[in-house]
Amino acid sequence: MTTHHAADLTADPSPAPIERLDEEIIALLARRRAMAQELPPPSRARAVMVLCHPSRPS
């Protein structure tokens, strides 16, 4: 995985560095989605906690 520093982005005023970052973000999101799909479903207790969250209207 490539990392970028703020100086790298300001040195080149063309949109190319931003486009590269966009591509990296999209690739990371795709990896995250694939990893999340491999996880087991949440337990029933967790689902109940979400349904009973205090910020939800009764």
More confident residue, 21 or 46: 21
Q: Residue 56 domain-assigned?
A: no
Q: Residue 57 domain-assigned?
A: no
pLDDT of residue 49: 54
Provide the number of structural domains found in the chain.
Answer: 1
Q: Residue 1 domain-assigned?
A: no
User: What mean pLDDT, rounded, does the chain reach?
Assistant: 75
More confident residue, 46 or 39: 39
* Confidence label for 41 from pLDDT (cuts 50, 70 and 90): confident
Q: Residue 27 domain-assigned?
A: yes
How far apart are alpha carbons 58 and 53 in whole angstroms?
Answer: 10
Q: Residue 58 domain-assigned?
A: no
Q: Residue 34 domain-assigned?
A: yes
Q: Residue 42 domain-assigned?
A: yes
Residue 56 has pLDDT above 70, yes or no: no
How far apart are alpha carbons 22 and 31 in whole angstroms?
Answer: 14
